[in-house]
Amino acid sequence: MRLDDGWSIEAGHTTEAAVHGDTLCAVDGSRRTTAFAVSDGSERLHRDMRPTTDGPRVSDEILYLESEQENQTGNYPVIAVTAAEGSERWRFSVPVDEPLVPTGVVASGDAVYITEYSGWLYAVDRVDGTEQWRYSTDGETRYRPVVVDDSVYFASMDGNVNAVDATGGDRQRKQAVPPRTRIAAGNGQGLIVRGGNDEENQHFSAYTPDGTEL
């Protein structure tokens, strides 16, 4: 890994990286996340965990990582660590009908929203990781949620985009979309979703906030 200011380091098989302030976060292979100082490349932390987001995103100085499987429960806890030195703030793991396998995390406002493989959406407190509410859908969930205003949107593999109230977890609506769809982007004007059964036949669709297809 080499930057223009002249330093270089051996970073292994780096698959993803992102700069946040004076910290460079990199993912080596599939199970190791390392943070380096941008100024000189010195290592600030490493954890043998992969990010639970699409790449090593840092939100308010926090990295959200997926821990190793817990032996007794089968869960893969979500760990919140500081990007600067790697100290653990909290970990989230709950007993459910099937083991907790996180598929995405996004922080917004006072909460962190976690999607889970078997179709759960969890809201946890951003400071201490305590559960605030949970919501379940019928289809499996493979991608991180998107928060727009007071709504949390997440796609399920059965061909639906689910809209859930960000404060209390109440269902707002369910939008039928093609199977295997993921949310590509969202803002106050609506959502853009990407889907298709294989990478060579992908399509994009746009919807207004009330679910009207554009």
SS3 27: strand
Question: Would you mind telling me the total number of residues written for the chain in this entry?
Answer: 214
Q: What share of the chain is helix, strand, coil (3-state, %, to 5)?
A: 0, 50, 50
| Contact indicator for 193, 161 with CB cutoff of 8 Å | yes
| Contact indicator for 112, 64 with CB cutoff of 8 Å | yes
The two structure tokens encoding residue 191: 């959502």
| Contact indicator for 87, 75 with CB cutoff of 8 Å | no
β-pair type (88-92, 78-82): antiparallel
Q: What is the pLDDT of residues 163-198, one digit of tens each?
A: 999 999 999 988 887 777 888 888 888 888 887 666
CA distance 95 to 54: 25
Nearest to 59 by CA among 93, 109, 101: 109
On the question of pLDDT at 96 being above 80, the answer is no
Q: What is the pLDDT of residues 14-36, one digit of tens each?
A: 777 778 778 888 787 667 788 88
List the domains of the chain with CATH numbers. Answer: 14-207 (2.130.10.10)
On the question of pLDDT at 75 being above 60, the answer is yes
